[in-house]
Protein backbone atom coordinates (compact mmCIF):
# COMPACT_ATOMS: atom_id res chain seq x y z
CA UNK A 1 0.00 0.00 0.00
CA UNK A 2 2.75 2.43 0.93
CA UNK A 3 4.59 1.68 -2.32
CA UNK A 4 1.54 2.68 -4.36
CA UNK A 5 1.14 5.82 -2.26
CA UNK A 6 4.82 6.68 -2.78
CA UNK A 7 4.48 6.21 -6.52
CA UNK A 8 1.52 8.57 -6.48
CA UNK A 9 3.47 11.22 -4.54
CA UNK A 10 6.45 11.00 -6.86
CA UNK A 11 4.14 11.20 -9.87
CA UNK A 12 2.52 14.35 -8.48
CA UNK A 13 5.95 15.91 -7.92
CA UNK A 14 7.03 15.01 -11.44
CA UNK A 15 3.88 16.53 -12.91
CA UNK A 16 4.14 19.67 -10.78
CA UNK A 17 7.43 20.65 -12.43
CA UNK A 18 7.44 24.33 -11.57
CA UNK A 19 6.92 23.81 -7.85
CA UNK A 20 9.34 20.86 -7.80
CA UNK A 21 12.04 22.99 -9.44
CA UNK A 22 11.73 25.88 -6.99
CA UNK A 23 11.53 23.52 -4.02
CA UNK A 24 14.33 21.09 -4.90
CA UNK A 25 16.08 22.24 -8.07
CA UNK A 26 16.69 25.92 -7.37
CA UNK A 27 19.27 25.53 -4.59
CA UNK A 28 21.71 23.42 -6.69
CA UNK A 29 21.34 25.91 -9.54
CA UNK A 30 21.86 28.78 -7.12
CA UNK A 31 24.95 27.09 -5.64
CA UNK A 32 26.42 26.69 -9.13
CA UNK A 33 25.56 30.15 -10.46
CA UNK A 34 26.57 31.95 -7.26
CA UNK A 35 29.89 30.08 -7.29
CA UNK A 36 30.55 30.98 -10.92
CA UNK A 37 29.78 34.65 -10.24
CA UNK A 38 32.07 34.51 -7.21
CA UNK A 39 34.91 33.01 -9.25
CA UNK A 40 34.47 35.55 -12.01
CA UNK A 41 34.54 38.39 -9.49
CA UNK A 42 37.58 37.03 -7.65
CA UNK A 43 39.70 36.10 -10.67
CA UNK A 44 38.77 38.88 -13.09
CA UNK A 45 38.18 41.83 -10.79
CA UNK A 46 40.01 41.37 -7.48
CA UNK A 47 42.76 39.00 -8.59
CA UNK A 48 43.88 35.63 -7.26
CA UNK A 49 44.02 36.55 -3.57
CA UNK A 50 43.95 32.82 -2.67
CA UNK A 51 46.76 31.01 -4.52
CA UNK A 52 45.03 27.62 -4.63
CA UNK A 53 41.61 26.00 -4.98
CA UNK A 54 39.99 23.28 -2.83
CA UNK A 55 37.44 21.33 -4.93
CA UNK A 56 36.81 18.62 -2.34
CA UNK A 57 36.41 21.14 0.44
CA UNK A 58 33.96 23.01 -1.79
CA UNK A 59 31.95 19.84 -2.38
CA UNK A 60 31.83 19.26 1.39
CA UNK A 61 30.58 22.81 1.97
CA UNK A 62 27.97 22.28 -0.74
CA UNK A 63 26.29 19.71 1.47
CA UNK A 64 25.67 22.52 3.98
CA UNK A 65 23.62 24.57 1.50
CA UNK A 66 20.43 24.04 3.54
CA UNK A 67 22.08 24.58 6.93
CA UNK A 68 21.11 28.26 7.30
CA UNK A 69 17.45 28.82 8.05
CA UNK A 70 16.90 31.36 5.26
CA UNK A 71 18.23 28.87 2.70
CA UNK A 72 15.77 26.24 3.90
CA UNK A 73 12.87 28.24 2.44
CA UNK A 74 12.97 26.20 -0.75
CA UNK A 75 12.85 22.92 1.16
CA UNK A 76 10.13 24.30 3.43
CA UNK A 77 8.05 25.24 0.41
CA UNK A 78 8.55 21.74 -1.00
CA UNK A 79 7.43 20.15 2.26
CA UNK A 80 4.41 22.45 2.43
CA UNK A 81 3.42 21.50 -1.12
CA UNK A 82 3.63 17.81 -0.25
CA UNK A 83 1.94 17.89 3.16
CA UNK A 84 -0.55 20.74 2.75
CA UNK A 85 -1.39 20.37 -0.92
CA UNK A 86 -4.24 17.93 -0.25
CA UNK A 87 -5.83 20.45 2.12
CA UNK A 88 -5.47 23.30 -0.36
CA UNK A 89 -6.99 21.39 -3.29
CA UNK A 90 -9.44 19.46 -1.09
CA UNK A 91 -8.36 16.07 -2.44
CA UNK A 92 -7.97 14.08 0.77
CA UNK A 93 -11.36 12.40 0.40
CA UNK A 94 -10.41 11.11 -3.03
CA UNK A 95 -6.89 9.94 -2.15
CA UNK A 96 -7.82 8.25 1.13
CA UNK A 97 -10.24 5.90 -0.64
CA UNK A 98 -7.19 4.04 -1.99
CA UNK A 99 -4.75 4.23 0.91
CA UNK A 100 -4.91 4.43 4.70
CA UNK A 101 -3.91 7.59 6.52
CA UNK A 102 -0.63 6.44 8.07
CA UNK A 103 0.80 5.01 4.81
CA UNK A 104 -0.37 8.17 3.02
CA UNK A 105 1.63 10.42 5.35
CA UNK A 106 4.60 8.05 5.40
CA UNK A 107 4.68 8.10 1.59
CA UNK A 108 4.69 11.90 1.60
CA UNK A 109 7.62 11.97 4.02
CA UNK A 110 9.57 9.41 1.98
CA UNK A 111 8.91 11.38 -1.21
CA UNK A 112 10.24 14.52 0.44
CA UNK A 113 13.28 12.64 1.76
CA UNK A 114 14.14 11.36 -1.72
CA UNK A 115 13.70 14.79 -3.31
CA UNK A 116 15.72 16.67 -0.70
CA UNK A 117 18.47 14.01 -0.85
CA UNK A 118 18.81 14.56 -4.59
CA UNK A 119 18.91 18.31 -4.01
CA UNK A 120 21.67 18.00 -1.41
CA UNK A 121 23.79 15.79 -3.66
CA UNK A 122 23.36 18.18 -6.58
CA UNK A 123 24.40 21.10 -4.35
CA UNK A 124 27.60 19.24 -3.49
CA UNK A 125 28.29 18.46 -7.16
CA UNK A 126 27.62 22.09 -8.09
CA UNK A 127 30.15 23.37 -5.57
CA UNK A 128 32.67 20.74 -6.69
CA UNK A 129 32.32 21.97 -10.28
CA UNK A 130 32.95 25.51 -9.05
CA UNK A 131 36.02 24.23 -7.17
CA UNK A 132 37.47 22.62 -10.29
CA UNK A 133 36.82 25.80 -12.29
CA UNK A 134 38.60 27.71 -9.54
CA UNK A 135 41.51 25.26 -9.79
CA UNK A 136 41.69 25.77 -13.56
CA UNK A 137 41.71 29.56 -13.21
CA UNK A 138 44.12 29.54 -10.29
CA UNK A 139 46.42 26.91 -11.76
CA UNK A 140 46.83 25.23 -8.41
CA UNK A 141 44.72 23.06 -6.12
CA UNK A 142 45.11 21.71 -2.61
CA UNK A 143 43.81 18.33 -1.49
CA UNK A 144 42.86 17.10 1.98
CA UNK A 145 45.44 15.17 3.99
CA UNK A 146 42.94 12.34 4.45
CA UNK A 147 42.67 9.22 2.32
CA UNK A 148 39.90 8.38 -0.15
CA UNK A 149 37.95 6.38 2.44
CA UNK A 150 38.05 9.19 4.98
CA UNK A 151 36.99 11.71 2.34
CA UNK A 152 33.99 9.55 1.46
CA UNK A 153 33.05 9.12 5.12
CA UNK A 154 33.36 12.88 5.68
CA UNK A 155 30.95 13.55 2.82
CA UNK A 156 28.52 10.94 4.12
CA UNK A 157 28.65 12.53 7.59
CA UNK A 158 28.08 16.00 6.14
CA UNK A 159 25.18 14.67 4.06
CA UNK A 160 23.65 13.01 7.12
CA UNK A 161 23.94 16.26 9.08
CA UNK A 162 22.05 18.36 6.55
CA UNK A 163 19.59 15.56 5.78
CA UNK A 164 18.63 15.07 9.43
CA UNK A 165 18.39 18.83 9.98
CA UNK A 166 16.07 19.41 7.01
CA UNK A 167 14.01 16.32 7.90
CA UNK A 168 13.31 17.83 11.33
CA UNK A 169 12.19 20.96 9.50
CA UNK A 170 9.96 18.88 7.23
CA UNK A 171 8.40 17.16 10.24
CA UNK A 172 7.60 20.57 11.72
CA UNK A 173 6.04 21.64 8.40
CA UNK A 174 4.01 18.43 8.46
CA UNK A 175 2.74 19.20 11.98
CA UNK A 176 1.78 22.79 11.16
CA UNK A 177 0.11 21.68 7.92
CA UNK A 178 -2.05 19.16 9.76
CA UNK A 179 -2.98 21.61 12.52
CA UNK A 180 -3.64 24.64 10.30
CA UNK A 181 -4.74 22.84 7.10
CA UNK A 182 -3.09 25.73 5.23
CA UNK A 183 0.00 25.80 3.02
CA UNK A 184 0.81 29.43 3.78
CA UNK A 185 0.69 28.83 7.52
CA UNK A 186 3.00 25.82 7.18
CA UNK A 187 5.58 27.92 5.33
CA UNK A 188 5.39 31.11 7.39
CA UNK A 189 5.24 29.42 10.80
CA UNK A 190 8.22 27.20 9.97
CA UNK A 191 10.37 30.05 8.65
CA UNK A 192 9.63 32.21 11.70
CA UNK A 193 10.36 29.31 14.04
CA UNK A 194 13.69 28.56 12.35
CA UNK A 195 14.72 32.22 12.47
CA UNK A 196 13.81 32.32 16.16
CA UNK A 197 15.91 29.19 16.73
CA UNK A 198 18.85 30.78 14.90
CA UNK A 199 18.64 33.86 17.13
CA UNK A 200 18.17 31.89 20.34
CA UNK A 201 21.07 29.57 19.57
CA UNK A 202 23.70 32.20 18.75
CA UNK A 203 25.61 31.48 21.94
CA UNK A 204 25.54 27.77 21.12
CA UNK A 205 28.05 28.30 18.30
CA UNK A 206 30.74 28.65 20.96
CA UNK A 207 30.34 24.94 21.64
CA UNK A 208 30.41 25.12 25.41
CA UNK A 209 27.00 23.78 26.41
CA UNK A 210 25.37 20.64 24.95
CA UNK A 211 21.92 21.99 25.84
CA UNK A 212 22.07 24.01 22.60
CA UNK A 213 21.92 20.76 20.64
CA UNK A 214 18.15 21.00 21.09
CA UNK A 215 18.28 23.53 18.24
CA UNK A 216 18.47 21.67 14.91
CA UNK A 217 20.91 24.16 13.39
CA UNK A 218 23.42 23.65 16.21
CA UNK A 219 23.02 19.86 16.13
CA UNK A 220 23.50 19.90 12.37
CA UNK A 221 26.60 22.08 12.67
CA UNK A 222 28.08 19.69 15.24
CA UNK A 223 27.74 16.74 12.85
CA UNK A 224 29.06 18.77 9.90
CA UNK A 225 32.11 19.83 11.90
CA UNK A 226 32.76 16.17 12.69
CA UNK A 227 32.82 15.52 8.94
CA UNK A 228 35.23 18.39 8.42
CA UNK A 229 37.45 17.02 11.18
CA UNK A 230 37.58 13.63 9.41
CA UNK A 231 38.55 15.08 6.03
CA UNK A 232 40.50 18.21 6.89
CA UNK A 233 42.13 16.87 10.08
CA UNK A 234 41.24 19.93 12.10
CA UNK A 235 39.17 20.40 15.22
CA UNK A 236 35.77 22.10 15.40
CA UNK A 237 34.17 23.71 18.43
CA UNK A 238 31.07 21.55 18.13
CA UNK A 239 32.56 18.37 16.63
CA UNK A 240 32.79 16.65 20.01
CA UNK A 241 29.02 16.86 20.41
CA UNK A 242 28.31 15.03 17.13
CA UNK A 243 27.55 11.64 18.78
CA UNK A 244 24.90 13.39 20.88
CA UNK A 245 23.57 15.50 18.02
CA UNK A 246 22.52 12.54 15.86
CA UNK A 247 20.05 11.02 18.36
CA UNK A 248 18.77 14.50 19.23
CA UNK A 249 17.81 15.17 15.61
CA UNK A 250 16.32 11.69 15.21
CA UNK A 251 14.23 12.07 18.37
CA UNK A 252 13.02 15.53 17.31
CA UNK A 253 12.02 14.14 13.92
CA UNK A 254 10.15 11.21 15.46
CA UNK A 255 8.35 13.42 17.99
CA UNK A 256 7.22 16.01 15.43
CA UNK A 257 6.24 13.56 12.71
CA UNK A 258 4.62 11.24 15.26
CA UNK A 259 2.54 14.08 16.68
CA UNK A 260 1.50 15.15 13.19
CA UNK A 261 0.52 11.61 12.23
CA UNK A 262 -1.42 11.06 15.45
CA UNK A 263 -3.42 14.24 14.86
CA UNK A 264 -3.96 13.39 11.22
CA UNK A 265 -5.33 9.92 12.00
CA UNK A 266 -8.03 11.49 14.20
CA UNK A 267 -8.73 14.49 11.97
CA UNK A 268 -12.11 15.08 10.42
CA UNK A 269 -11.55 15.35 6.67
CA UNK A 270 -15.17 15.51 5.57
CA UNK A 271 -14.57 18.86 3.85
CA UNK A 272 -11.19 18.07 2.28
Write out pLDDT tens, residues 128-142. Answer: 999 999 988 888 888
Give the separation between CA 199 and CA 244, rounded to whole angstroms.
Answer: 22
Average confidence score pLDDT of the chain: 91
Domain extent at residue 209:
2-264
pLDDT of 179 higher than 80: yes
Return the pLDDT at 50.
Answer: 66
What does the pLDDT read at residue 42? 78
Cβ neighbours around 68 below 10 Å, total: 11
* Structural domain count, the chain: 1
pLDDT at residue 68, rounded to an integer: 82
pLDDT at 236: 79
pLDDT (0 to 100) of residue 215: 94
Q: Does residue 269 fall inside a structural domain?
A: no
Distances 118 to 23, 193, 223 between C-alpha atoms, Å: 12, 25, 20
pLDDT of 219 higher than 90: yes
| pLDDT of 243 strictly over 70 | yes
Is the model's pLDDT at 162 over the cut of 90?
yes
Q: Is residue 115 part of a domain?
A: yes
Say whether pLDDT at 209 is over 90. Answer: no
> How sure is the predictor about 251, in pLDDT bands with cuts at 50, 70 and 90?
very high
Report pLDDT digits (tens) over 17-75.
Answer: 999 999 999 999 999 999 999 888 877 776 666 667 899 999 999 999 998 878 899 99
Q: What's the rounded Cα separation, in Å, for the pair 144 and 126? A: 19
Residue 124 lies in a domain: yes
Whole-structure pTM value? 0.94
Query: 237 lies in a domain?
Result: yes
Amino acid sequence: MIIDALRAELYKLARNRGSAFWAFGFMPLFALSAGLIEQGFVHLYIGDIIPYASPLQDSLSGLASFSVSIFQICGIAGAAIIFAGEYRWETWRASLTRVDRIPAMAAKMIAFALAISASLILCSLARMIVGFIDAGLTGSATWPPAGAGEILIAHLVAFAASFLQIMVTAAFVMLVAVVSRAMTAAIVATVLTLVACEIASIRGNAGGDPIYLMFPNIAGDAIRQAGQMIMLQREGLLAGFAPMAVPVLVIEFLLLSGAATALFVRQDLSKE
